[in-house]
Every structure is written in C-alpha cells, then in structure tokens.
C-alpha cells in the first residue's frame, strides 16, 4: 500500500481491510512463533522498487513509527532493513518462490 498510495499517516481502517495481507503459513503457536507468506503483489513491488522509492518508504516508515512509539522507536536502520528484504524479494521473484516472514 505504501508503494501505491504513499502517506506519512496510517490509512483508515476501511482502506486497510480492502488490501491483501500476508497469510499465515502457521498460525501463532503457544510460544508466539508464526510464519506468514507475503502476497505476490508485495513481493514483486519490493523486488522492483528503486533506491529512491525505498528511501522514501523508509522515511515514511520512520516518521510513522516515531509518531506512534516516540522515544521507544527501534534503533534499527529501517532503510537497511528494507534493502535486506528487497534482496530476499528479488531472489524469490527470480526463482519463482515466495517471500515469508517468521517471527517469535
């Protein structure tokens, strides 16, 4: 959504509900582990994003996180995080695979 309709603000809930979201490969378990398959549309958008688009997205992401979390914002370099995800997305597109997110 951030590629197609860039905004520093979070979109309205109605708009969020209309978008394809990652699907659970495994629903959250008791230990908090979950795996998501990202939509192909997002994987392709990430794989084909330009450096300028990634910088702009990271800037909007940082602004949004700071406005929501204030001083508790992560110290991670969000552009570097995006660039790493883009490399994975590009590999997924090149091999005909998918992009997954595992969290615990």
- Token pair 């450096």 is found at 51
In the structure, what pLDDT confidence band is assigned to residue 15 with cuts at 50, 70 and 90? Answer: confident
- In the prediction, which pLDDT does 62 show? 79
- In the prediction, which pLDDT does 88 show? 95
Distance, CA of 11 to CA of 70 (rounded, Å): 19
**pTM beyond cutoff 0.85:** no
- In the prediction, which pLDDT does 29 show? 77
Distance, CA of 80 to CA of 67 (rounded, Å): 20
- In the prediction, which pLDDT does 23 show? 76
- Token pair 């809930």 is found at 13
**Contact at 8 Å (CB) between 7 and 67?**
no
pLDDT for 68 beyond 60: yes
pLDDT for 71 beyond 60: no
Range scoring the smallest mean pLDDT among 50-54, 61-65, 82-86, 100-104: 61-65
Give percent of the chain with pLDDT exceeding 90.
25
- Helix ranges (DSSP H) in 18-77: 40-47, 51-69
Most distant pair of Cα atoms in the chain: their distance: 40
């Amino acid at each position: 959504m951030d590629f197609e309709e860039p905004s520093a603000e979070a979109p309205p809930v109605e708009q969020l509900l209309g978008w394809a979201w990652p699907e659970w490969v495994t629903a959250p378990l008791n230990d908090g582990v979950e795996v998501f398959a990202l939509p192909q549309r997002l994987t392709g958008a990430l794989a084909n994003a330009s450096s300028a688009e990634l910088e702009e997205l990271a800037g909007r992401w940082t602004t949004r996180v700071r406005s929501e979390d204030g001083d508790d914002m992560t110290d991670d370099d969000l552009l570097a995080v995006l660039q790493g995800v883009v490399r994975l997305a590009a590999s997924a597109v090149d091999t005909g695979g998918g992009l997954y997110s595992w969290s615990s």
